Amino acid sequence: MSRVVVTGRVPDAAIEKLRAEHEVDAWSGPESIGREELLRRVAGADAVVSLLTERIDAELLDAAGPQLKVVANVAVGYDNIDVPACTERGIVATNTPGVLTDATADIALSLILMATRRLGEGERLIRSGQAWKWGMFFLLGSSLQGKTLGVVGMGGIGQATARRAKAFGMEIVYQSRSEIDPGVAAELGARRVDLNELLTVSDVVSLHCPYGPATHHLLGAEQLGAMKSSAYLVNTARGPIVDEAALASALREGRIAGAGLDVYEHEPRVHPELLELDNVVLLPHLGSATVETRTAMAMLAADNALAVLGGDRPPAPIG
Ligand code: GLV
C-alpha cells in the first residue's frame, strides 16, 4: 500500500478509487492548502495528486522524499509543475488532456459571444436598476457571421473552439507549432498562418496555447497593436500569455474593441484597470467547471497515479 497525498478537494469518486488500493491523505479544508501544511503533508508520499493552484517545485519534491514516484495534476495545463525537476528525480508527471476539451471550448465560445454581443454590459445595466428600453442603436455589438477567428494554439481545445465558431459562420485561421491533421483542417476550412498575420486578419483572437517561457507575454503591446481596432481577444488558456497591463491600455484607448478573459496574469488578482472597463468580460477561471468534467479530470488523475504506483505507463504522461 502506498501513500497518496491529494492537495485539494476533488470529487469523491476519485478519492474512493484511490482509497480502494492505497492510503489517501486528502486536504479537505474550505481554503487552499497553505504552503507550509502542504510541505509537511507530502513528506513520505509515493504519489501527489495536485491542483493547479499548488506549486510543485524542487522544494516540494525534496520535502516529499526519494520514494515519490508520480505527480498527477488535475488539470491539462501544468505550468504549476517544474517538470524538469520531476524528470531529474525520476518522478513521472501527468496531466488530464482530452476530458476538458469541450467544456473549455464552450467557455471560449461563451466569451466570444459575451464580448462581441456586449452581454455582460447588458446584464450589469439591468442589475444596476438604470432605466432602459429597446432602441435601434441600444447596446449594439458585432456579428460573428463571415468574420474571422484566429486560434493561437490549435491543439484539442483550439480545434474544438474552431469547430464551434465555424458553426456560427466564422472563417478560421490558426497559428500552431505543428501542422494539424489535414482532415481536421479541411473540415474546418482552417488556414495555418504566422502569429503576425493571424493578429492582422482576425476579428476575434482566441488563445489556446500552453503557458511557459516561450509564450510568456506572447501578446504584449506590439501584438495587441497589430490587431484590428474592431477585434476582440479571448483568453481561456493561462493569464501570463497576455501582458495584462498592455491589454488594459489597449482596451481603455479603444485600440481593440473588447476582450473576454477566464484567466489572469496574477490569478486570482485581476488587474484593477480591467475591473473599471466595460469592454471586457471577466470570468473566474471556469473553463473546466462542470460537474461531469471535474469528475472526469479527477478520475483521470487518479488513473494516472494508480498506473505509476502499479508500475505501469500512465494514460496521460506529460511530455
Ligand atoms: C485548467 O485551467 C486546466 O489547465 O485544466
User: Per residue in 215-262, pLDDT tens?
Assistant: 999 999 999 999 999 999 999 999 999 999 999 999 999 999 999 999
Residue with CA closest to ligand 1 atom 5: 75
Distance from Cα 76 to the centre of ligand 1, integer Å: 5
Whether residues 195 and 242 fall in one domain: yes
Do 123 and 52 belong to one domain? no
Domain membership flag for residue 206: yes
318 lies in some domain:
no
Q: Using CA of residue 295, residue 301, residue 304, residue 309, what is the dihedral sign? A: negative
- Confirm whether 314 is domain-assigned: no
Does residue 238 have an active-site annotation? yes
319: nearest Cα among 66, 92, 54, 19: 92
> Where is 112: in which H helix or E strand?
helix 101-116
319 within a domain of the structure (yes/no): no
The Cβ-side half-sphere exposure at 227, using a 13 Å CA radius, reads 28
Which of the residues 238, 244, 265, 271 is marked catalytic?
A: 238
What integer pLDDT is reported at residue 115 of this predicted model? Answer: 98
pLDDT at 319 over 90: no
Q: Are residues 247 and 124 in the same domain?
A: yes
In a domain, 67, yes or no: yes
Global confidence as pTM: 0.96
Q: Is 265 one of the catalytic residues?
A: no
Integer Rg of the chain from CA: 21
Q: Which residues line ligand 1 (CB under 6 A)?
A: 52, 75-77, 100, 287-288
Same domain, 50 and 14: yes
pLDDT in tens, 273-315: 999 999 999 999 999 999 999 999 999 999 999 999 999 999 9
219 CA distance to ligand 1 centroid (A)?
A: 20
Q: Verify that 269 and 125 share a domain, yes or no.
A: yes
Does residue 217 have an active-site annotation? no
Both 217 and 297 in a single domain? no
Specify the CATH number for the domain of residue 145: 3.40.50.720
User: How many Å lie between the centroid of ligand 1 and the Cα of residue 102?
Assistant: 12
Give the total number of structural domains in the chain: 2
The domain of 156 spans 101-282
Using one digit for the tens of pLDDT, what is the confidence trace for 7-25?
999 999 999 999 999 999 9
What distances in angstroms separate CA 297 from CA 150, 202, 292, 293, 316, one per listed residue?
Answer: 28, 32, 9, 6, 11
Task: Please say whether the beta carbons of 301 and 10 come within 8 A.
Answer: yes
SS (H, E, C) 115-154: HHCCHHHHHHHHHHCCCCCCCCCCCCCCCCCCCEEEEECC
Same domain, 70 and 217: no
In-domain check, residue 156: yes
Instruction: Please check whether residue 243 is in contact with residue 273, taking contact to mean a CB–CB distance below 8 angstroms.
Output: no
Same domain, 231 and 251: yes
Asked whether residue 266 falls in the same domain as residue 297, the answer is: no
Owner of C-alpha cell 528525480: 89
What is the position in ligand 1's atom list of the atom closest to the CA of 237?
2
Closest atom of ligand 1 to CA, residue 78: 4
Best probe residue, ligand 1, of 53, 56, 73, 76 (max atoms within 8 Å of C-beta): 76
Do residues 74 and 117 share a domain?
no
Q: Is residue 316 part of a domain?
A: no
Q: Are residues 202 and 158 in the same domain?
A: yes
Task: Please state, in angstroms and as integers, the Cα–Cα distance from residue 199 to each residue in 43, 111, 282, following that order.
Answer: 47, 18, 22
Instruction: Indicate whether 117 and 70 sit together in one domain.
Output: no
Detail the DSSP E strand segments found in the chain. Answer: 3-6, 23-26, 47-50, 70-73, 92-94, 148-152, 171-175, 191-192, 204-207, 232-235, 258-261, 280-282
pLDDT recorded at residue 31: 87
Do β-strands 148-152 and 92-94 pair in parallel, antiparallel, or remain unpaired? unpaired
Query: Which residue, judged by its Cα, is nearest atom 4 of ligand 1?
Result: 77
**Domain assignment present for 68:** yes
